[in-house]
């Protein structure tokens, strides 16, 4: 009997060390953690069933044995075994709570990253479009001004050269009015032709520049549209991924998730009373599940006096269940 109890203690110690090692492992992905915890839960459940079955046999054997010294020691060992079972249950609750916290934190970070990327991409796209439009306008303006300046300089230079030649010819042909008049007419015609040619060239150049500007604008608009379509497609994929993640969390955890992304859970009634009134409840009647608060303060006043704090003036507050979703509360001085 003592050997079997010692064997159970060694197995319990080994299970406890395994649980502590699993609890202290670094956090991996939520899916791997959930799978590992499920496997550990199944192993612990099987071990617990076996231990309870063996414990039942030991209890039956203890009932048959007399109340001597070794029997009392074995009873203490069995009590320690029950305490170890409670510790295992508490550790499983803590592991489950850690998994919930990891999943909630990861979901929150994912949503924040998606929103941040969308806002940042929109700002970058706006800046890029404004920059390209500004560069295109500046380039076109510089080209037009440069062409106009070159044409004006060219015309001015030609005029100056022709005028210089005309002045020389006029000085050489003084006294020859007819030839001067004819020559002036020819010069005027040539000037008109030059001006017309320059005007035509400028108009054609302006058309080419305008066509180039329009083509550049169309290319920029196409690129902007393609990038916008890509962003919309990425946003749609991220939304689908978020929905799939929520569905996966619901399947793995077995708990509902509301529209705001929080896990639904029941609030402990004692904790609710503690948070609202700042009172600690003690179980008064196990059969009726009622709680009470007996009134005396830490200074040692008689229970016949009211409490000094104005909202703790009741000596007893009894809360009992009434129907499925209501409770009755009675307060006595």
pLDDT of residue 221: 87
Domain chopping of the chain, boundaries = 2-113, 118-253, 269-332
Between 42 and 24, residue with greater pLDDT = 42
Q: How many CB atoms lie within 10 A of CB 61?
A: 13
pLDDT average, residue stretch 177-206: 82
| pLDDT tens figures, 279-308 | 565 555 555 444 554 443 333 333 333 333
Q: Strand, helix or coil at 309?
A: coil
Task: Name which of 224, 217, 221 is nearest 124 in CA terms.
Answer: 224
Query: How far, in Å, are 139, 215, 226, 237 from residue 212 at the CA level?
Result: 11, 5, 21, 37
- Entry pTM: 0.22
Token pair 């390209």 is at which residue?
132
Q: Which residues of 168-198 are buried (b: 16+ CB within 10 A; e: fewer)?
A: ebeeeeeeeeeeeeeeeeeeeeeeeeeeeee
| pLDDT tens figures, 200-254 | 888 888 888 888 888 888 888 888 888 888 888 877 877 777 666 555 544 444 4
Give Cα 62 distance to the centre of its chain: 58
């Amino acid at each position: 009997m003592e050997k079997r109890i010692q064997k159970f203690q060694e197995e319990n110690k080994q299970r406890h060390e395994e649980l502590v090692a699993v609890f202290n492992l670094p956090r991996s992905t939520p899916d791997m953690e959930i799978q590992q915890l499920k496997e550990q839960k199944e192993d612990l459940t099987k071990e617990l069933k076996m231990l309870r079955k063996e414990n039942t046999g030991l209890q039956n054997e203890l009932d048959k044995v007399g109340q001597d010294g070794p029997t009392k020691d074995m009873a203490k060992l069995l009590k320690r075994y029950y305490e170890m079972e409670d510790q295992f249950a508490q550790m499983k609750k803590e592991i489950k709570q850690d998994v919930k916290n990891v999943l909630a934190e990861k979901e929150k970070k994912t949503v924040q990253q998606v929103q941040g990327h969308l806002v940042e991409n929109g700002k970058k796209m706006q800046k890029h479009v404004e920059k390209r439009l500004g560069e295109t306008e500046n380039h076109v303006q510089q080209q037009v001004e440069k062409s106009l300046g070159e044409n004006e300089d060219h015309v001015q230079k030609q005029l100056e050269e022709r005028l210089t030649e005309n002045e020389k010819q006029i000085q050489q042909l003084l006294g020859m009015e007819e030839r001067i008049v004819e020559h002036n007419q020819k010069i005027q015609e040539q000037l008109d032709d030059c001006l017309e040619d320059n005007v035509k060239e400028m108009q054609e150049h302006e058309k080419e520049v305008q066509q180039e500007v329009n083509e550049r604008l169309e290319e920029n608009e196409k690129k902007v549209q393609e990038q916008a379509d890509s962003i919309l497609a990425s946003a749609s994929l991220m939304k689908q991924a978020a929905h799939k993640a929520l569905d996966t969390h619901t399947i793995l955890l077995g708990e509902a998730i509301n529209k705001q992304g929080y896990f639904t859970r029941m609030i402990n009634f004692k904790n609710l009373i503690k948070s609202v009134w700042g009172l600690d409840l003690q179980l008064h009647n196990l059969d009726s599940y009622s709680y009470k608060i007996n009134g005396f303060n830490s200074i040692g006043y008689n229970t016949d006096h009211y409490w000094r704090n104005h909202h703790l003036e009741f000596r007893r507050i009894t809360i009992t269940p009434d129907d499925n979703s209501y409770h009755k509360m009675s307060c006595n001085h």
